[in-house]
Structure 1
Amino acid sequence: MTVEGEDLTALSDMQLDVLQEIGNVGAGNSATALSRLIQHRIEMNVPQVALVPIEDVPEFVGGPELVVVGIFLRVYGKAPSNILFLIPRDSAFALADTMCGREVGTTTTELSPMDESALMEVGNILAGSYLNAFYSFTGISMLPSVPALAVDMAGAILNVVLVQLGEMGDHALLIETNFVADDRSIKGHFFLVPDPGSLGSIMNAVGVG
């Protein structure tokens, strides 16, 4: 199955099912890696996978003015892309508490260099796990760069990324990601933004004929 002109409305239910399974496998592998890293059980699930217009990305995390922690990675390989992991600031504090062995909900009001390093490692693990899952299902090899982190409004982070990258694809693959640690749910949003031309390669690879 091809995606004529990268028309995302042409995606089949089966293609979306494959993308959902890629998300589930990536989340499972991420949870295992994070749990081993911090010696603390973390569960993850992917309640939603969708293809969304790039300009709508801030709406999926709570609106363009919501302050978030953004982790960005460049992806190299057969389908060059960009990864943007956005998590609301308060959720990022809770995730940093968990990663650094602090009681979740402590008086963390800003991220220390150690917290930023921990969150970038989360981004590293998520990127590696999801891209490995893509390779397992599609045979498309993609490797992530070293992550960068910023704290700002969701709309501002997206604008900076767009300006820095110049030409970028029109759509993003959203993999909504829920972390559960100490019975507390932390929601993040993982976006794979393929370069122009890469999206068709990815979608064709998860086609069914």
Structure 2
Amino acid sequence: MSYLDSITHLQLDTLKEIGNIGAGNAATALSLLVNKPVMMSVPSVKIATFDETMELAGGADNVVASVYMRIEGDITGNMYFILSLSQATRFINQMTGSNQISFDHSLDDEISLSALTEMGNILSGSYLSSLSDFTGMKIYPSVPVLGIDMVGALLGYGLLEFSQVGDYAIIIDTDFTASDNKEEKDVNGHFFLLPDPESFDTLFSTLGVNME
């Protein structure tokens, strides 16, 4: 029996609700950081295959901005928050109030890179904290690492390890904006949660999935 056959809408809805709680906490933290309203939500959560995961991020050769964390504790694995370069540019401009920053031309801008790393740190940390609170598991994120590279290069190691249990990843879609302008478009990103082989069973067993 595959994970796709066993995981129900109830478990996915639970992960979505955990994501929305984490998004709310992250929005509060980011609002205080940038001193402007930040709105955030998780419109969907899905289980994706290797190919689908790559395609969601624009394909293996697509260059993106990624904030990576290693997960340790009762479950272990890898977590990525990925934005297209245009979406990363939009969010950093919203956070800094500048219209001059572009990740196509300013990859060495320390303020931009620091802001993007901190944003990923707050978002990922808030989601993992909500997951920990809901499941009662102890989950510890590592120091975040920012990478700007091709999707295949960024995800390769995590997905290679994860493929031992069926080539699936948990994809958490996220919509957010850091602007008090109601006409400002949302930024759209993806969390890719890649539990280590033994941790995938542990995670979903706490959500009521029997893999036997």
Q: Same fold (TM over 0.5)?
A: yes
Runs of 4+ in structure 1 over 3 Å off: none
1:186 equivalenced with 2:187 (yes/no) = yes
Match of 2:129 among 132, 150, 157: 132
Spell out the pairing of 1:57-96 with structure 2 (5 A cutoff): 57-96=53-92
Matched residue, 1:177: 174
Q: Structure 1 residues 166 and 58 mapped into 2: Cα distance closer, same or farther (>3 Å)?
A: closer
Listed as ranges, the gaps of 5+ residues in structure 2 are: none
- 1:19-38 matches, cutoff 5 A: 19-38=15-34
2:52 to 43, 56, 69: 56
Deviates further, 109-118 or 12-21: 109-118
Residue 13 of structure 1 is aligned with which of 3, 9, 12? Answer: 9
Residue 161 of structure 2 aligns with which residue? 167
Query: Once the two structures are aligned, what percentage of the paired residues are identical?
Result: 40
- Describe the SS at the equivalent of 1:94: helix
Contact 2:93 / 2:101 at 8 angstroms: preserved in 1?
no
Q: Which amino acid aligns with 1:194?
A: P
- For 1:57 and 1:76, the matched residues in 2 are separated by 22
Q: CA deviation at 1:86?
A: 0.9
1:99-114 alignment runs, 5 A limit: 99-103=95-99, 106-108=100-102, 109-111=105-107, 112-114=109-111
- Alpha-carbon deviation of 1:62? 2.3
Deviations 1:88-124 (A, max 9, x none): 0011111122223324xx3523231221111111111
Look up the equivalent residue of 2:190 and give its one-letter code.
Answer: H
Letter in 2 for 1:75: I
TM-score (norm 2): 0.86
Shift of 1:208: 7.5
Separation in structure 1 between the aligned mates of residue 7 and residue 187 of structure 2, nearest angstrom: 30
TM-aligned CA deviation for residue 206 of structure 1: 1.4
Stretches of structure 1 lacking an aligned partner (at least 5 in a row): none
Match of 1:40 in 2: 36
Q: Provide the alpha-carbon RMSD of the alignment.
A: 2.0
CA distance in 1 between counterparts of 2:9 and 2:43 reads 16
What SS is found at the alignment partner of 1:167?
Answer: helix
1:32-69, CA deviations, whole angstroms, 9 ceiling, x for partnerless residues?
11111111111111111011123432211222232210
How far apart in 2 are the matches of 1:176 and 1:41? 20
Aligned length: 200
- For the 8 Å contact 2:101–2:112, the answer to whether it is kept is no
In the aligned structure 1, how far is the partner of 2:9 from the partner of 2:194?
Answer: 21
2:24 and 2:40 in contact (8 A); partners too: yes
Aligned pair in 2 of structure 1 residues 207, 44: CA closer, same or farther (>3 Å)? same
The one of 145, 148, 166 equivalent to 2:145 is 148
- 1: CA distance between counterparts of 2:118 and 2:77? 19
